[in-house]
Amino acid sequence: MSKAIVKTDYQFPGQKSVYKGKVRDVYNINDDYLVMVVSDRLSAFDVVLPKGIPYKGQVLNQIAAKFLDATADIVPNWKIATPDPTVTVGHMCEPFPVEMIVRGYLTGSSWRLYKDGGRDICGVPLPEGLKEHQAFPEPILTPTTKAEQGAHDENITREEILKQGLVSEEDYLELERISLELFKRGSEIAKEKGLILVDTKYEFGKKDGKIYLIDEIHTPDSSRYFYADGYQERFDKGENQKQLSKEFVREWLMENNFQGREGDVLPELPDDFINEISERYIELYESITGDKFEKADVSTVIDRVEKNVTDYLNNL
């Protein structure tokens, strides 16, 4: 566990600044490139848990890299190279202040809202009589504001986005189109591997007037997957779905009286649960990519990342 990347503090060649998010530490290189170090931190309910998850950063980075490559024909993306198993180097873009959430099923936060009587998500009306884990006739878009560090993302409608001038109408309609195309591609790839892509989030930015897909894509931190085998049988019986995502972490936290609310006390995560989370992330990697996960040498992981990135930047 001590080999997990929980904190970074690098000084890379050409570094101008660093932004430390919930999971990713993003280094600005000469206002031209970004070095994204995907840590082993885990967040749930917008709270970063105190212990790192071994190999989580490698899993997320390598899945994201694979899906960025697999969707580059739909939209350009920020990725240039992955000089280390936990690092992506890419174009610096001006991010849009909204995240595009695509949902194919009534699950997770959308189900919790529906169960409590909500019949509208981000301006999308929902009919009566839906059940948990039920597929929507067509995937729906439920955007959120992109919150500052430590704040909660907030649901928002298309009309509110345009009214507030967060995104131009021309760009926003293009973000909707691209998001649905990406979700369709992700769903097709998942289906080939016996999985269902349930919901996901996409982030976009602009560089030189062009829209780019940025950050991660179709990882277990940004997406939820069900196993296709047994889905219908479980749904018909009203049972929980077998899923590959960090929803099981949220469920464990809720069982231990934590939902990120004011006054909630974060429970101690036992080592066996930390190991279970790590194994779940590796399982998703192997399930969704079809590749065997090769654990990188983490004996000196902080030094390894620094050397690999520095060598790459010096030759960029």
The enclosing domain of 71 has a CATH number of: 3.30.200.20
Q: Which of 244, 279, 302 is the last residue of a domain?
A: 244
Nearest-angstrom CA–CA distance, 78 and 212: 6
Long-range contacts (CB closer than 8 Å, 24 or more residues apart) made by 109-113: 110/142, 110/199
Residue 77: its pLDDT value, please? Answer: 98
- 240 inside domain: yes
Cα 73–74–80 angle (5° rounding)?
60
User: What residue ranges of the chain have pLDDT lower than 50?
Assistant: 1, 150
- 301 inside domain: yes
Distances, alpha carbon 206 to alpha carbons 67, 91, 162, 211, 305, in Å: 20, 10, 17, 5, 28
Q: Are residues 152 and 232 in the same domain?
A: yes
Residue 46: its pLDDT value, please? Answer: 83
Q: Which of 214, 244, 274 is the last residue of a domain?
A: 244
Q: Are residues 50 and 156 in the same domain?
A: no
Residue 177: its pLDDT value, please? Answer: 98
CA 316 to chain centre: 28
Q: Are residues 150 and 45 in the same domain?
A: no
Total domains in the fold of the chain: 2
Q: Which of 251, 303, 256 is nearest to 10 (CA)?
A: 303
Residue 56: its pLDDT value, please? Answer: 95
Q: Are residues 70 and 108 in the same domain?
A: no
Q: Are residues 165 and 296 in the same domain?
A: no
Q: Specify the CATH number for the domain of residue 230.
A: 3.30.470.20
Q: Are residues 148 and 61 in the same domain?
A: no
41 within 8 A of 35, measured Cβ to Cβ:
no
- 74 inside domain: yes
pLDDT digits (tens, 9 = 90+) for 244-254: 777 789 889 99
Q: Which of 244, 277, 297 is the last residue of a domain?
A: 244
Q: Are residues 100 and 239 in the same domain?
A: yes
Residue 302 is part of which domain span? 15-93+261-314
pLDDT digits (tens, 9 = 90+) for 275-292: 999 998 898 899 989 999
Residue 149: its pLDDT value, please? Answer: 53
